[in-house]
Amino acid sequence: MKKFLIVGLGNIGSDYVNTRHNIGFKILNYIAAKESITFETRKLGDIATLKIKGRSLLLLKPNTYMNLSGKAIKFWLEKENIPLENLLVITDDLNLDFGTLRLKTKGSAGGHNGLKDTQDKLQTTVYNRFRFGISDSFGKGKQVDYVLGEWSDDEKSKLKERLEVSAELITSFALAGVNNTMNQFNGK
């Protein structure tokens, strides 16, 4: 069975549950609820397994806090013997309009501390990342408050549909491959 590691980045704790920075956790929670699977607390994170058409998707929510996510990612890749090309890291992105999806196979951390730590631990910038746009609708010096802030009412009203499309992107990544998925979902 072909294995994939799907990692949603976020911060643990009730203070962060509905923040923009926790979109990775939110997407994985949405998939788990939709597929009626549950997360189990294991080493360095919460894990759930989703089986789709001969594929096994290990969903990981690291419990290391955002800035140390790479440790959990590296551990589970090695423990489950999952090839790097079957890794997908889900993160928020200030440079994309709210709800815009972008899948990339390599790149910089773009100032995102979770991606910086992942690159540091994996010793590469070549791994799949799924960026979910949260926009940059904040004033000067307010970035941290915005990222760690909760969704606006307008964003909340659109979020369920965006979570569904995000779930479809992840399924496509596992079944159709990264290139087909980029062609179908990027910018949507």
* 112 catalytic residue (yes or no): no
Beta bridge partners of 6: 59, 88
Tokens matching residue 161: 């549909």
Instruction: Enumerate residues 6+ apart whose C-beta is below 8 A from 23.
Output: 8, 10, 90, 91, 92, 132, 134
CA pair distance 60, 69, nearest whole angstrom: 10
Q: pTM of the prediction? A: 0.95
Selected catalytic residue, list 4, 20, 21, 129 = 21
> Which contacts of 77-83 are long-range, i.e. CB under 8 A and separated by 24 or more positions?
77/5, 77/122, 80/3, 80/5, 81/3, 82/3, 82/4, 82/5, 82/58
- Render each residue's pLDDT in the chain as its tens digit; 188 residues: 799 999 999 999 888 999 999 999 999 999 999 999 999 999 999 999 999 999 999 999 999 988 999 999 999 999 999 999 999 999 999 999 999 999 999 998 888 989 999 999 999 999 999 999 999 888 788 888 898 899 999 999 999 999 999 999 999 999 999 999 999 999 88
Query: What does the pLDDT read at residue 128?
Result: 98
pLDDT of amino acid 3: 98
- How far, in Å, CA of 48 to CA of 87, rounded? 15
- Spatial separation of the C-alpha atoms in residues 18 and 20, rounded to whole Å: 7
- Greatest Cα-to-Cα distance within the chain, rounded to the nearest angstrom: 49
